[in-house]
Structure 1
């Protein structure tokens, strides 16, 4: 499983972007629960932000393109790591875990994101 830290996201976005399809932004898939999104959320800058709670992934993964870059995000990185493994088992080819989750995001990318 591939992982990146929030501080590495910008480099990953640049590498994952398809110059032939500039409108097709990489996806950050937030797998936290709705109450967590209300507590703290990230701003979509250079990526498409999608929310799918972890428990909904088995029913909703067809909404994602198996060959499109997806970076999974949760609170600390454990749930998103499980989602990455699940998506890889389904044939997703460009999926990474955001190690440290939104907690690390607040420390490394945007201190305005509340820590909980």
Structure 2
């Protein structure tokens, strides 16, 4: 089962393992990332659209903790499950996506 992490608790989830390299994987389409995006705070940020994940798995190799983000959480949930099935052990879904990020954590992030 994929862990669900609220945007406000993401830093805590990433810091559970101080030795881990942390990545926020944004699986939205490029136009969505241009519309609204997050500022990395103690983690790397990488945008790969959901449909490109299978062909770009090698880009995720250096990261040991990956949290997936989309608009509301459905696409990122699917990607997180896919990553789990492909050997990534520390994977989470950002519950509510970037919409929740804006509403609950950082209102400077535009909603769409």
For normalisation by structure 2, the TM-score amounts to 0.93
Shift of 1:109: 1.5
1:30-109 counterparts in 2 under 5 A? 30-65=26-61, 68-109=64-105
Runs of 4+ aligned structure 1 residues displaced above 3 Å come to: none
TM-score, length basis structure 1: 0.90
Contact 1:87-1:95 within 8 A present in 2 as well: yes
Unaligned runs of 5+ in 1: 19-23
RMSD: 1.4
Shift of 1:62: 1.5
Q: CA shift at 1:3, angstroms?
A: 1.1
Alignment-derived partner of residue 17 in structure 1: 18
1:16 aligned counterpart, secondary structure: coil
For the residue of structure 1 that corresponds to 2:72, the secondary structure is coil
Q: Which runs of 5+ in 2 are unaligned?
A: none
The offset of 1:59, in angstroms, is: 0.1
